[in-house]
Amino acid sequence: MKPDIARTTLKITAGSVTQFPRDNEPQIALVGRSNVGKSSLLNAVIGRKSLARVSSVPGKTVTVNFYEVDGCFYLVDLPGYGFAKGAREDKRRWSALTDAYFTAGGARIAAVIQLVDLKVGITADDEMMLDFLNSSGIRHFIVATKADKLSRTQAEAATERICSAPCAAGCDGIVQFSALKKQGVDAVIRLLFEALGK
């Protein structure tokens, strides 16, 4: 039976690696720059208004949040990267915790959802993340967020640009997404279940 994605709870808010869950449930992690729409995607996918806190101040979250879906797997909200200039300390904390996550997570990481702002396209930080995912062989797909900000024609062109970037070559698929319009929700859920073998 497929897990009931509506049965999702915030299980752990981890500020350090010692707080990561130790059980063997598979994990699907969300990565992307700060403000790209990770928390909004989470809420849209689980069909809840505000289980994941949507931030008005980008980059506030420096914790790894583990949402457990139906006692079956975790959706993991990683801190956003690429803060405004000057936030060097935040950046260090981001990379330390994210590095720790990818080191400690190991085989339990079933897939990574790389979020890219459709209008902005792939940033230098996104490229670094995608290069890392490619080299580590972690299954990943791209969700292009805030599609509602573009016309259909613009969205198609922007998607094409993302797909043709060399660093996107290793991804398993791309979904145009809008949390605002609830566009792409079913497609993301399908990719999640596929990655989990459900």
Ligand X SMILES: Nc1nc2c(ncn2[C@@H]2O[C@H](COP(=O)(O)OP(=O)(O)OP(=O)(O)O)[C@@H](O)[C@H]2O)c(=O)[nH]1
Interface residue list for ligand X (CB under 6 A): 32, 34-40, 54-55, 58-61, 80, 145-146, 148-149, 178-180
Residues that bind Mg ion (CB under 5 A): 38-39
Nearest to ligand X by Cβ — which residue? Answer: 80
Minimum separation from the CB atom of position 45 to Mg ion (A): 13
Identify the bridge partners of residue 66 per DSSP, sorted by sequence position: 12, 76
Q: Which is nearer to ligand X, 61 or 114 (CB)?
A: 61
Q: What Cα–Cα distance (Å) separates residue 10 from each residue in 69, 77, 100, 165?
A: 9, 10, 20, 35
Closest CA to 22 of 97, 104, 113, 110: 104
Residue 123 contacts which entry, Mg ion, ligand X, none (Cβ below 5-8 A, type-dependent): none
CA distance 12 to 42: 15
Following DSSP, what letter does each residue of 111-165 receive, concatenated? EEEEEEETTT---HHHHHHHHHHHHHT--EEEEEE-GGGS-HHHHHHHHHHHHHS
Residue 145 contact partner, candidates Mg ion, ligand X, none, CB within 5 to 8 A by sort of partner: ligand X
CB of 36 to ligand X, least distance (A): 4
Q: How far is the CB of 24 from ligand X (least distance, A)?
A: 27
179 binds, among ligand X, Mg ion, none (CB under 5 to 8 A by kind): ligand X
| Least distance from ligand X to the Cβ atom of residue 139, Å | 21
Q: Which is nearer to ligand X, 140 or 146 (CB)?
A: 146
Q: Which of 38/140 has CB closer to ligand X? A: 38
Which partner in ligand X, Mg ion, none is near 82 (CB below 5 to 8 A by kind)?
none
Minimal distance, residue 179 CB to Mg ion, in Å: 11
Contact present, 130 and 168 (Cβ < 8 Å):
yes
- Please identify, using beta-carbon distances, which residue of 33 and 38 lies nearer to Mg ion: 38
Please list, in sequence order, all residues whose beta carbon lies within 8 angstroms of the beta carbon of residue 15, skipping any fewer than 6 positions away. 62, 63, 97
CB crowding 122-137: b at 16 or more within 10 Å, else e: bbebbeebbebbbeee
67 or 73, CB closer to Mg ion?
Answer: 67
